[in-house]
Amino acid sequence: MHNIMSDNIVEIDNLSFGFKGRLLHKGINMVFPRGKVVAIMGGSGSGKTTLLRLIGGQLKPNIGEVRVDGEVVHKQSIDGLYQLRRKMGMLFQFGALFTDLSVFENVAFPIREHTNLPESMVRDFVMLKLNAVGLRGAQSLMPTELSGGMARRVALARAVALDPQIIMYDEPFAGLDPISMGVVCNLIRSLNDALGATTIVVTHDVHETFSFVDYVYFVSGGVVVAEGTPDELRKSDMPFVHQFVHGEADGPVPFHYPAPDYKKEMLRGHDA
Amino acid sequence: MERTTIDLWVGVFVALGLAAIFGLALKVGNLTSSNIGETYTVTAAFENIGGLKPHAPVKSAGVVIGRVDGIVFDSKDYEAKVTIKLDKRYKFPTDTFANIYTAGLLGEQYIGLEAGGEDAQLKNGDKISHTQDAVVLEKLISQFLYSKASDNKPSDSTKAAE
Amino acid sequence: MLKGLPKALAGLGNRTIEGIWRIGAGARLFFYIWFYLLESFKRPRLIVREIYATGVLSLLIIVVSAFFVGMVLGLQGYNTLQKYGSSEAIGVLVALSLVRELGPVVTALLFAGRAGTAITAEIGLMKATEQLSAMEMMAVSPVARVIAPRFWAGFISMPILAALFSMVGVLGGYFVAVPIIGVDAGAFWSQMQASVDFRDDIVNGIIKSLVFGVVCTLIALFEGYDAPPTAEGVSRATTRTVVNSSLAVLGLDFILTAFMIGA
């Protein structure tokens, strides 16, 4: 790492991971400094979500390691892993709210599971978190009664219920209208700063993301192809970054899936 | 759903289940009849008990008054020794007759008690000395075949034997 | 024809390996459930809620089916028994068939269809919507929080349902035999009581239903937990729950009956 960021809460070191012999990641190095909001960007299917699962210890790397707060994730026992995960909060793509629990109970869930606080204090905590995401009024609704943006915000309140040191977001903008998107952007930034946490955002929404993150990693083909602050990347003349940032259809990432020559294939159909 | 509603329903559910198990045990099964309150035990020896089984009813005048408790083979006399538990409320004279009967043509076998005329009554541990064996159909048929080679119907012979 | 043979053999091998893997994975899940035994009974509320979902909600189908099964047994039994002039034995026939076999087996089959599919679909959907992953990331074991309570609920509900099935079935048989056909009520009950043994028949029936409860619930849980996290995966898993539970129940019933009669 060439930046001078000594105090990193998450470090990914020469990480390779894949299913059934097909490698998804081929030697990834990343660091996530304390207090910063860092985005991991890349096309669909580039293994961004898998990276979050590797950090959370739900998957084990084939080679290399992930260190969270100095501890190697995949070498932890179950108890150690659970201890480590209590430092993390994760927002899943569509919120992953527990459908059989109300909004209040969803946010209260981690608090009830991990503490023995009296009911009145649980209530105070839940109200605090729900207020932070602006949904105190929705506490008695069920998840099915929420819009996509509201569900995302409730899930966010749940993810930060125990004041984690690391907050991870898996595609927080997917399927949101522009207003909700802006709301979520502001929340990610403000929650990070209010909690003094470190935020990792996995996304492919360039413009929203560039407006509030501190640092960006571009992942493609299983490696980090570019990294830097949003300003640096906007000015970058690397073809991939340029294509991605400006949303061009063709470029280093081709429009066509690899196929035989178009003309030849069409002619063959007529011969038969 | 409200917590209390769920609790209530689960409570009802478990209560119904327990009631069903009790119902099965008491109304359908023989748990009641095998524990007919206070009992006293007598024994009876038979040369042949046929298909008599433990828990078979012991009846007198058609009323169930006890149960067969156990059946063992007595190798000294080559007889079956049957232990009978009788309800304490019913007293029988010492010269009571114990017969093994069959309920219907193919039914279960049970012990029927016929009271004698003695004044002394059977006590716990006593032995009923007057017994009549179970009717074994094969024996009966062979007897019948040997004695009368006539045109009698087989059902008559069974009835006569009973 | 010979060309297809290696392919067919490979398919057979593949299915065998898959089958063995599933049994192993199911057994591992069973082990984890026991591992979290204390933790799940520390939170009885969760189990109570699941008893409501599996047991109470299956009550109606069990009671209605039982009554009809009992009535059919009564009719069929009477039809046959009267030819031998022993229509009083109808109570015995109804009670023994229900208590020994139909109670536990039909209850288990209905349970697989009603509660088992619900469990599989629910857990499959929780998986598909990443609720289980979310739980893991919150350092809460889904086995302790989601799987184990449902398992114990099924374990508790099944014998209760089976006992209810037998009892209601006997009442159904009584309804046909006594008021409709005109068998003597006293004979109906007394013959039944003389032939149904508490230990050999009723307790054995309860033991069967306990085993079926474990197997049906475990299969439902495993299929849901193992389902591919897609709509198609969940629907297939639900089908598999019914098929596998039914086969397991019928097969185990034979084995258990053999042991019980042999013993």
Q: What is the DSSP letter of B93?
A: B
Nearest-CB residue to C197 (from B16, B20, B55): B55
ipTM of the shown complex: 0.82
pLDDT of residue C84: 81
Domain ranges of chain A: 8-250
Q: Locate the domains of chain B by residue range.
A: 1-35, 38-136
The answer to whether the Cβ–Cβ distance between A92 and C138 falls below 8 Å is no
Look at residue B105 in the predicted model and tell me its pLDDT.
62
Q: Are B139 and C226 in contact (CB under 8 A)?
A: no
Q: What separation, in Å, do the N-terminal and C-terminal C-alpha atoms of chain C show? A: 50
Assess B57–C contact: CB distance below 8 Å, yes or no.
yes
Please give the single-letter amino acid code of residue B125: G
Which subunits count as partners of chain C given 3+ CB pairs below 8 Å?
Answer: A, B
pLDDT at site C1:
56
Paired tokens of B109: 């076998």
Interface with chain A: mutation pick from C35, C137, C140, C230, highest number of A CBs within 10 Å:
C137
Please tell me which residue of chain B has the smallest CA distance to C59. B13
Whether C127 and chain A come into contact, CB under 8 Å, resolves to: no
Give pLDDT, residue B151.
58
pLDDT beneath 70: ranges in chain A? 1-6, 269-272
Check if the beta carbon of residue A88 is closer than 8 Å to that of residue A166.
Answer: yes
pLDDT on residue A263: 81
Q: Provide the pLDDT for residue B153.
A: 53
Q: Are C177 and C91 in contact, with CB atoms under 8 Å apart?
A: yes
**CATH number listed for the domain at residues A8-250:** 3.40.50.300
What confidence category does residue C17 fall into, taking pLDDT thresholds of 50, 70 and 90? very high
pLDDT digit string, tens, across residues C129-156: 889 988 988 888 888 889 999 999 999 9
Cβ neighbours of C39 in A, within 8 Å: none
Tell me if C138 and A97 make a contact (CB, 8 A cut-off): no
Q: How confident is the model at residue B154 (pLDDT cuts 50, 70, 90)?
A: low
A19 burial level (CB within 10 Å; 0-12, 13-18, 19+) = exposed
**For residues C1 and A178, which has the higher predicted lDDT (pLDDT)?**
A178
pLDDT given for residue A231 in this prediction: 85
Closest CA to C242 of C63, C118, C151: C118
Task: Please give the pLDDT value at position A4.
Answer: 40
Within 8 A of C48 by CB-CB distance, chain B residues are 6-7, 10
Residue B68 has which token pair?
Answer: 């067969």
Residue B161 in this model has a pLDDT that exceeds 60: no
Q: C197 touching B, CB under 8 A?
A: yes
Rounded to 5°, angle at Cα C120 from B2 and A97 = 55
Q: Does pLDDT of B26 surpass 60?
A: yes
Q: Residue B73: is its pLDDT beyond 70?
A: yes
Q: What is the pLDDT of residue B1?
A: 55
Q: Compute CA distances C113 → A111, A169, C121, C241, C246, whole Å.
A: 36, 39, 12, 8, 9
pLDDT at residue number A3: 41
Q: CB C195 to CB B108 under 8 A?
A: yes
Task: Please tell me the predicted confidence (pLDDT) of residue B162.
Answer: 47
Does residue C116 register a pLDDT over 90?
yes
Chain A residues within 8 A of C138 when measuring between CB atoms: 85, 89, 109-110, 113, 158
Higher pLDDT, C127 or A174: C127
- Residues in B touching C172 (Cβ below 8 Å): none
Measured CA to CA in angstroms, residue C57 lies from C53, C107, C161 at distances of 6, 13, 11
Mean pLDDT (chain C) is: 90
User: Can you tell me the mean pLDDT for C12-22?
Assistant: 91
Structure tokens that stand for A101 in this block: 């629990």
Whether A58 sits inside 8 A of C125 (CB atoms) is no
